[in-house]
Amino acid sequence: MSNLPARADFACCECGSPSITIPADLADDAPVSCGGCDSVIGSWLGYKSFVSRSITLEAHGFPNTPLICVDPIIAQSFEDALAE
């Protein structure tokens, strides 16, 4: 058994696909669709929040390693991460 935390894996409730289609307009209320069946799975804001929480939870499994990410989905700035 691994000491790593459980990962929050994504899969569409309709077809089980792990892929998404991001909206052309990245407004927070824009719909995000499943890449497998085109079902709307939620909003862009909701998806960004899910990804951010998932990365943060996974990073907590490595307490001696700072979380530094330049991905714009992550809310913490580079400077804040270095300051910790």
pTM: 0.59
- Please, are residues 53 and 8 in contact by the beta-carbon 8 Å criterion? yes
Phi and psi at residue 78, to the nearest 5°: -60, -45
β-pair partners for 32: 42
Q: Is 18 exposed, middle or buried (0-12, 13-18, 19+ CB in 10 A)?
A: exposed
Domain residue limits, the chain: 20-83
| Chain segment 7-56, per-residue pLDDT in tens | 446 788 889 898 889 888 889 999 999 999 999 999 999 988 888 887 77
- Would you state the structure tokens that stand for residue 38, as one six-digit string? 């085109």
